[in-house]
């Protein structure tokens, strides 16, 4: 795909979302459940859409929250529900709608105080941390949570996801149940759902304010050695990207005595302060060099700097020497460091990774005597291993990760961008090397992989065909000039369907999967034999896909 001419630059006024129109559409437009695109659809992380497209409107939130309420009753979940939101324009009205439904049902709801130091916003990891903290040692009266966020998606989007009592993203069984029930509500009409006014809901004794910020920040030392960071005098910079954790950084610096500067604490639902992503879209993605232009321009001012996406479950690490680290590189560094510097972690702990995460993670893990636990795309697949303590670190190529507390017990069971960022500071403080230099030493030892992700448009039928592929559908013996060692349709870690397939050779791998939330399919390629080998494999896979989807196939483009 050709790079957008404005990539990396500030967006012109014409590209900014009209927030008033967006908010009007939230209440004015009603989805038609007979239109597939307007139904509730849970992808890898909840339901997402835009009010302007009639895919994320008040009716959707009523239906999803009512479905969650019914799920709680069906599963006997009767503890408090922790409710958090990010800073997207649609998140605040969706929160109000959720409170109207939950309040009418008598559910105990825990919300951040809107006049508090966090501004009423709650990072995804703070919700997961709160659920785990409340449920620790309990066998009944368990808590769960709802998080209103479309992650790093553009400002016009909204999203909502459910986290059960284990604190992490809901599994497939739960999301299918909630999705089906929500669509049944849409079909019956949302007027069948009991609601009360938001003012009345806020006044109920079942609606409680919860200090997510203090509980999370005061506990950070249990996951990251912030005393070492303070004592080493590491100079830190952070670009909050106008997200849910924008007010957390000052408290973190104050509580732990860190030399940490937030370069801009602006909150603006148009996100006009962002630089445009590679495709010319405003996207709060901390792993994108184009979206991170502001912090990259300041990298010489700090020993290490970082950013998170809008709900703070993704990380981006900027170093003086390396600039913005590719997310795969940083995951490998985190594995190398953590498993050598957490003496209370058990010997049997493994490294969790999605099947499209770099093979460098596997090589580093093996060198440390640790096994890899490879799962399909989606953080939900890591939850059980984090809860039972069999996985020490888990990560995915799209810059999502979390890890255990220093004592080997669960910290969060959802992605945590904050601890992933602060770990970079610990690595520098304890080793004297910034993470980019650490990765360079790993590449010298294990080889330097080249990684590429591609995407192309695909219809629902084409996505269905790709998702149902079987190893026997490919009459291949080699790819990229190397014999094929495995063709996987199920993840080797947990045996769950990939929803596509992965091909491996001695020095490379490629994976093909349809997106769960967009009308596209994705191809991932990595090789330890250089960029020419990656391009060769990508071209061969493109030809394979073309044959499968012909005549409706479209050329691949490099994903943003």
How far apart are the two ends of the chain, measured CA to CA in Å? 9
Structure tokens at 140: 């009944």
Which of 147, 104, 97 is CA-nearest to residue 122? 147
Can you tell me the distance from the alpha carbon of 329 to that of 443, in angstroms, rounded to the nearest whole number? Answer: 9
- Nearest one of 354, 397, 398, 348 to 374, comparing CA atoms: 354
Cα separation, 304 vs 292, in Å, equals 14
Q: Count CA atoms closer than 13 A to 412's CA, side-chain side.
A: 30
Structure tokens at 523: 């191809």
Q: How many CB atoms lie within 10 A of CB 170?
A: 23
Neighbours of 289 (CB within 10 A): 18
* Partners of 353 in the β-ladder: 374, 395
Q: Rounded distance, CA 288 to CA 274, Å?
A: 11
Asked if 59 and 183 touch (Cβ cutoff 8 Å), the reply is no
If you ran DSSP here, which 8-state letter would residue 486 be given? E
Q: Which residue of the set 41, 91, 128, 151 is catalytic?
A: 151
Query: Three-state DSSP class for 447?
Result: coil
Decide: 83 and 109 in contact? Cβ < 8 Å. Answer: yes
The strand pair at 315-319 and 304-308 is best described as antiparallel
Closest CA to 349 of 389, 396, 407, 409: 389
Does residue 151 have an active-site annotation?
A: yes
Please give the Cα distance from 62 to 182 (Å, whole number). Answer: 8
Distance of CA 435 to the CA centre of its chain: 21
Helix (H) or strand (E) holding 440: helix 435-446
What are the catalytic residues? 151
């Amino acid at each position: 795909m050709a790079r957008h001419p404005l990539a990396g630059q500030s967006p012109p006024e014409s590209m900014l979302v009209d927030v008033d129109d967006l908010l009007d559409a939230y209440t004015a437009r009603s989805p038609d459940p007979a239109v597939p695109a307007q139904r509730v659809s849970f992808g890898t992380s909840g339901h997402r859409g835009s009010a302007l497209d009639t895919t994320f409107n008040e009716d959707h939130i009523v239906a999803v929250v009512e479905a969650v309420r019914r799920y709680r009753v069906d599963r006997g979940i009767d503890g408090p529900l922790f409710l958090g939101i990010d800073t997207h324009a649609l998140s605040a009205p969706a929160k109000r709608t959720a409170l109207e439904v939950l309040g009418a049902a008598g559910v105990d709801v825990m919300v951040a105080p809107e006049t508090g130091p966090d501004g009423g916003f709650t990072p995804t990891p703070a919700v997961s941390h709160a659920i785990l903290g409340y449920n620790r040692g309990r066998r009944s009266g368990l808590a769960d949570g709802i998080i209103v966020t479309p992650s790093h998606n553009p400002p016009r989007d909204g999203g909502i996801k459910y986290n059960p009592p284990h604190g992490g993203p809901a599994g497939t069984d739960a999301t299918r149940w909630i999705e089906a029930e929500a669509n049944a509500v849409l079909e019956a009409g949302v007027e069948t759902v009991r609601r009360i006014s938001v003012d009345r809901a806020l006044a109920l004794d079942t609606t409680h304010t919860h200090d997510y910020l203090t509980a999370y920040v005061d506990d950070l030392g249990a996951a990251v050695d912030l005393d070492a960071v303070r004592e080493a005098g590491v100079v830190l910079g952070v670009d909050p990207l106008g997200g849910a954790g924008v007010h957390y950084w000052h408290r973190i610096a104050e509580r732990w005595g860190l030399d940490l500067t937030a370069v801009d604490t602006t909150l603006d639902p148009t996100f006009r302060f962002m630089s445009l992503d590679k495709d010319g879209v405003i996207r709060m993605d901390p792993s994108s060099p184009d979206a991170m232009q502001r912090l990259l321009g300041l990298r010489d001012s700090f020993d290490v700097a970082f950013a998170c996406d809008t709900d703070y479950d993704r990380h981006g690490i900027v170093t003086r020497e390396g600039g913005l680290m590719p997310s795969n590189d940083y995951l490998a560094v985190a594995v190398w460091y953590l498993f050598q510097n957490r003496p209370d972690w058990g010997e049997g702990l493994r490294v969790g990774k999605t099947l499209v995460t770099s093979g460098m993670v596997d090589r580093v893990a093996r060198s440390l005597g640790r096994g890899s636990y490879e799962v399909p795309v989606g953080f939900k697949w890591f939850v059980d291993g984090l809860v039972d303590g069999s996985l020490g670190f888990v990560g995915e190529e799209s810059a999502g990760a979390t890890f255990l507390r220093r004592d080997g017990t669960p910290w969060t069971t959802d992605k945590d961008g904050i601890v992933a960022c602060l770990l970079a500071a610990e690595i520098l403080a304890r080793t004297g090397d910034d993470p980019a230099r650490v990765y360079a030493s790993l590449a010298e030892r294990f080889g330097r992989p080249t990684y590429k992700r591609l995407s192309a448009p695909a219809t629902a039928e084409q996505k269905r065909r790709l998702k149902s592929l079987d190893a026997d559908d490919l009459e291949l013996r080699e790819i990229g000039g190397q014999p094929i060692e495995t063709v996987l349709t199920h993840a080797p870690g947990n045996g769950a369907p990939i929803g596509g397939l992965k091909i491996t050779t001695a020095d490379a791998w490629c994976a093909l999967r349809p997106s769960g939330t967009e009308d596209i399919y994705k191809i991932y390629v990595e090789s330890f034999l250089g960029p020419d080998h990656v391009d060769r494999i990508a071209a061969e896979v493109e030809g394979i896909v073309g044959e499968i989807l012909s005549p409706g196939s479209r050329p691949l483009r490099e994903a943003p």
